[in-house]
Chains A and B, each alone.
Chain A
Amino acid sequence: MTLIYPRESLSAYPKHLTPEYKSTVKRSPSKPLIIVPHTLSELTGPVYGHDAVQEGDNDLTRQGKAEPLGERIIVHGRVLDEDKRPVPDTLVEIWQANACGRYVHIVDQHPAPLDPNFTGAGRTITDKNGYYKFITIKPGAYPWGNHHNAWRPNHIHFSVFGHSFLSRLVTQMYFPGDYLFPFDPIFNSVTDDKARLRMVSSFDLENTIPDWALAFRFDIVLRGREATPLDTDKH
């Protein structure tokens, strides 16, 4: 199977320069990006097997001596390509704030408590159907210095690999109905309404476990379409 990577799919992405998110002003390229053909260097990408993860790496509630505080949740879904076919055996990494909205990072000085039983780091490998699952705690909202009274909506950071170095994706998963959405320049950096909603998980009653944990469904669609027979092998 050879995949092609339509550039127009990237129209769903935010612009590099999004002045409402102030840090982009000095950290976005100012010269036009150079369009280059997709060579073997772009069409290949690293492969991580099941040896990259350890048993329990996908359960963020079992990394401490006791269970972390907060609302226990299941976050699960499938990693797919643009033809909606599953991306099997691919590495998915997450990191997030604790239930109080605090990260275990020295740079985070938000005066909310750390939880000795929660780091907020997890990883897993998708199965043959592209399926992944994490057990974690619902992250809290937290303030940031972008503008007066700026707060980030609840979110979990995702890093996903896919078939090639072109399909590499770092994104954030949000929770349905967050009242902070209208005020968050990072969320709103995706200007297309439908594209923006693709970053929002859906509440999943069917997979919610009675008396134990709410479930949220988050499918991730990566760049890459199956080549048609007319598409000659250009690399």
Chain B
Amino acid sequence: MSEITPSQTVGPFFAYGLTPKGRAHWDPDGTYSWKETVSDNLITPDAAGEKIRIEGQIVDGDGKPINDAMLEIWQADSQGRYASPYDSRRPNTQFKGFGRSATNKEGEFGFSTIKPGSVPGPNGKPQAPHIVFCIYSRGMLRQVYTRMYFADEAANGSDPILALVPADRRDTLIAQKQTKGDVPVYRFDIRVQGDNETVFFDI
């Protein structure tokens, strides 16, 4: 029997502690001053690579927006290097590769970041560029993990993790590129349950 501390839900009230900035629906007069530790903007001035936006909506089993979710992302830099002591090729920039976004009333989230490069996979096989998502909300007693891939990457076809996903469900992991302004927007909607449910990983 393992001895780890069990997970519990993040509940509905995490925002003032974990995602305090600019959340008008819980801080209507905008006076709350708790400093943000982790933001939804991952871009640092010294980070090389293509600037992108990630936008999406998260919905429950009835298709209703989840307006009290927190999404965290973890990704490599544009060279495919993680800012972690467990990646020996650590980047020498300030780019951390970690972000947090709380959903708004419509269940929408968003990140500004750099498109990640390819990272090594099992047995030295490269993985297609991807971003790991970790999702928390009221009604989730434990976090769920998924991955976002990029629709415009030919490498998706040989990605070792996507290959483990039934072909008819792979689309749920692939963000579609939209052109809205100067910065490419990748649209990544998440359906927690039901028809076309997003693939979640047991890791």
Contact = CB atoms under 8 A, between A and B. Distances in A.
Interface of A: 2-3, 5-16, 18, 21, 23-31, 33-48, 52-54, 82, 84, 91, 93-95, 97, 103-108, 119-123, 157, 159, 163-166, 168-172, 186-187, 189-190, 192, 194-196, 198-199, 220-223, 234-235
B203 interface: yes
Interface stretch (B4-12, B150-158, B174-182): B4-12
14 contacts: A5-B203, A7-B203, A24-B140, A25-B139, A30-B197, A39-B160, A44-B86, A53-B37, A106-B25, A122-B17, A164-B84, A165-B74, A195-B1, A235-B120
Contacts of A44: 74, 82, 84, 86-87
Contacts of B160: 37, 39
Nearest to B3: A221
A82 to B, nearest CB: 6
Given A28-B192, A199-B6, A21 B139 contact: yes
Given A43-B86, A234-B122, A222 B203 contact: no
B57 to A, nearest CB: 15
B37 A186 contact: no
Interface string B132-174: 1010111111111001000000000000110011000100000
Rank and list the top 9 A-B pairs by shortest CB-CB distance, nearest first.
A23-B139, A95-B17, A44-B84, A27-B139, A46-B98, A9-B2, A33-B202, A14-B141, A121-B17
A199 B134 CA distance: 22
A2 B200 CA distance: 25
B20 interface: yes
B198 to A, nearest CB: 8
A157 B10 contact: yes
Contacts of A195: 1, 6
Nearest to A107: B12
B38 to A, nearest CB: 8
B119 A39 contact: yes
Contacts of B1: 11-12, 192, 194-195
Nearest to A166: B203
Interface string B40-75: 000000000000000000001110101010001010
Contacts of A28: 139-140, 192-193
Given A27-B140, A46-B84, A54 B5 contact: no
Interface string B76-116: 10000011111100000000111000000000000000000
Contacts of A234: 122-123
A41 B119 contact: yes
A194 B61 CA distance: 32
Contacts of B203: 5, 7, 35-36, 38, 42, 166
Contacts of B96: 46-47
Contacts of A84: 3
B86 A170 contact: no
Contacts of A165: 74, 132, 134
Nearest to A48: B37
A65 B140 CA distance: 36
Contact of A26 (B2, B87, B193): B193
B161 A39 contact: yes
A119 B20 CA distance: 12
